[in-house]
Amino acid sequence: MTTQSITIAEHRFGYGFYRQVWWNWLIGTAFFCGGLGAGLFLISLGTDYRLGMVLGYLIVVVGKNTAHLLYLGRPERFWRAALRPDRSWIARGIWACGLFAVSGAILLAPMILGAAWQVPGEIADAAKVVAIGSGLVIMFYDGFVMNQSAAIPFWNTQLLPLLVLMYATLGGVTLTITLGALQNYESRETAWLEKVEPYLLIANFLLLCLYLLRMWRWTPAARETVRMWVKGRYARVFFGLIVAVGLIATLTLSLVQQQWQVRGLSLVIAGCELTGDFSLLMLMLKSGLFAPQTAPAFEPRGNGR
Amino acid sequence: MARLGMVIDLKRCIGCNACTLACKQENGTPEGVHYARVITREVGTYPKTKRTFLPVLCNHCDDAPCAQACPSGATWIRSDGLVLVDREKCIGCRACSVACPYMNRHFIEKGLLQHGYGTDGLSPYEAVKFLEFEEGTNTKCTMCAHRVDQGLEPACVVTCPTDARIFGDLEPDDGKLQKLIRERKGWTLLPECNTKPSVFYLDE
């Protein structure tokens, strides 16, 4: 069987690859907010940048959770999603979001509401550990949610959690630098982040290439998705938004920014990077294909059977 | 312990879609929801072409990926191997739809139960049958568990005019189904997904 002999089925009674139609832009937005918010929170925690922590926390707790609730068919039963952490990555993600919301609130309350909300040192330390752990899980668990599905070969690889973790880190670094530049917040750590960002962009680009190469050699359905990205209907989004805007423009502008410190350019850099990040997640969801339901009688044999 | 399953003889299937219609009638599924369907493909090169048919339904897998992906425990496996959905536990996350390699999970979109196949709202039949569904939740083939519990066979099995479908217990090695599978080299769909389906196909 060759990829060329199989087309995308228009409906479920037809033969061919089937499109993934259930997880839509709301899930993409939720994953995007989760990775970006948790990345921003953790990077800002590392650089002791309070505005970044608050914003990252809000992106996760408000943005991600709202998108998830809007997506659910029965949002009033959302709590049931936490019942099977032993086998479902969605359930583990819910737990991570819950722990992040509580521990993050403990850490941020004294910063926002004043010293009266300060908790004892041991509790604050424990909250910090929990926030870091749950934040990390939020950064990569959507990769596991997707790769748990063996039905969609393009997602079914251990490279996916790594890819979403790398993009979440990149998003967190970029937004921390941008917010810091807008607020004239300077520290040794943010200066270090500016130096690290180009290397992160190159690493993400290489990882993306490795991902596509791996998928090209995987199954016909995964190969068809790669074909759609590189030569087919999604080539403009892939090359235009993900590669050109999200990686090349971000890299070029960040190098320019390092050299000349152009005022306001950091906002453009963040816009480019976040566009690439969001486009990648949306394309991942939109281009997921199910393998055809193959029967020996379906195999082309010249004159049928 | 029983493991209910089905064997479908593709040599006998004529692609009439009687199973599709019988399932629709028995379960009263809303528009666009087909628990049973027949995938059709033309093979060969003109003038030597042929239409081939593959009747599909939920495979009631032993290692059901939909049950593993379900975060709320709404999808569960009965002791006789039937994979069922408790709609009151379903949160409508559609993780099962994404996890099922056979595309046999169906989401009841909001508003889908407000109209039937006719133009004037719901027919009396649909008004009764649609009570078994809930908008915003997932549904799937039950292998007619309500009939099986009464000692009857699934609607698609009894309707098939060519007796292409054989329903029974897959567990005993000397049983009718296992014998057919052994003798005629039965196979399952997408074995690479390691789901251990309970629906087997014969074409030898």
**Over chain A (305 residues), what is each successive 10-residue block's mean pLDDT?**
64 88 96 97 93 96 97 96 91 96 95 83 93 97 93 95 97 94 82 92 97 94 95 95 97 92 90 97 95 72 40
Contact (CB<8Å) B72/A80: yes
Best mutation site among A22, A79, A219 for testing chain B: the one with the most B CBs within 10 Å?
Answer: A22
Instruction: Sort out which chain B residues have CB atoms less than 8 A from A15's CB and list them.
Output: 39-41, 54
- Whether the CB-CB separation of B69 and A149 falls below 8 Å is answered with yes
Chain B contact for A115 (CB, 8 A cutoff): no
Contact (CB<8Å) A72/B91: yes
Contact (CB<8Å) A80/B43: no
Chain A contact for B98 (CB, 8 A cutoff): yes
Instruction: Give me the long-range contacts of A269-273 (CB less than 8 A, separation at least 24).
Output: A269/A174, A269/A177, A269/A178, A270/A174, A270/A175, A270/A177, A270/A178, A272/A245, A272/A246, A273/A170, A273/A171, A273/A174, A273/A246
The shortest CB-CB distance from A149 to any of B69, B192, B203 is to B69
Give me the average pLDDT of each 10-residue run along chain B (204 residues). Answer: 92 95 96 94 87 94 94 95 96 96 95 85 92 96 97 97 96 91 94 93 89
Best mutation site among A10, A144, A293 for testing chain B: the one with the most B CBs within 10 Å?
Answer: A293
Alpha carbons B62 and A218: distance in angstroms, whole number: 25
Selected residues 254-293 of chain A with any CB under 8 Å from a CB in chain B: 288, 290-291, 293
Q: In whole angstroms, how far apart are CA A41 and each of A31, A89, A142, A222, A267?
A: 15, 22, 17, 34, 18
For residue A296, the model assigns a pLDDT of: 66
3-state DSSP helix/strand/coil percent for chain A, to nearest 5?
75, 0, 25
As given in the structure block, the two tokens for residue A134 are 């749950």
Contact (CB<8Å) B92/A74: yes
Chain B contact for A182 (CB, 8 A cutoff): no
Contact (CB<8Å) A22/B136: no
Closest CA to B141 of B5, B1, B3, B2: B5
Chain A residue whose CA is closest to B93: A72
Amino acid at A24: N
Chain B contact for A302 (CB, 8 A cutoff): yes
Best mutation site among B53, B63, B98 for testing chain A: the one with the most A CBs within 10 Å?
Answer: B98
Alpha carbons B159 and A156: distance in angstroms, whole number: 38
The shortest CB-CB distance from A304 to any of B37, B44, B108 is to B44
Instruction: Sort out which chain B residues have CB atoms less than 8 A from A296's CB and list them.
Output: 187, 203
Alpha carbons A289 and A21: distance in angstroms, whole number: 9
Contact (CB<8Å) B138/A73: yes
Chain B nearest CA to A6, separation (Å): 11
Give the containing element (helix H, strand E) for A184. none
For residue A2, the model assigns a pLDDT of: 40
Chain A contact for B16 (CB, 8 A cutoff): no
Chain A contact for B71 (CB, 8 A cutoff): yes
Chain B contact for A91 (CB, 8 A cutoff): yes
Question: At a CB cut-off of 8 Å and minimum separation 6, what does A23 contact?
Answer: A285, A288, B94, B98
Selected residues 42-81 of chain A with any CB under 8 Å from a CB in chain B: 71-75, 77-78, 80-81
For residue A293, the model assigns a pLDDT of: 86
Instruction: Sort out which chain B residues have CB atoms less than 8 A from A88's CB and list them.
Output: 68-71, 95
As given in the structure block, the two tokens for residue B196 are 């251990």
Strand (E) positions, chain A?
Answer: 18-19, 289-290
The shortest CB-CB distance from A301 to any of B43, B135, B187 is to B43
For residue A295, the model assigns a pLDDT of: 67
For residue A5, the model assigns a pLDDT of: 67
Instruction: Sort out which chain A residues have CB atoms less than 8 A from B100's CB and list them.
Output: 151
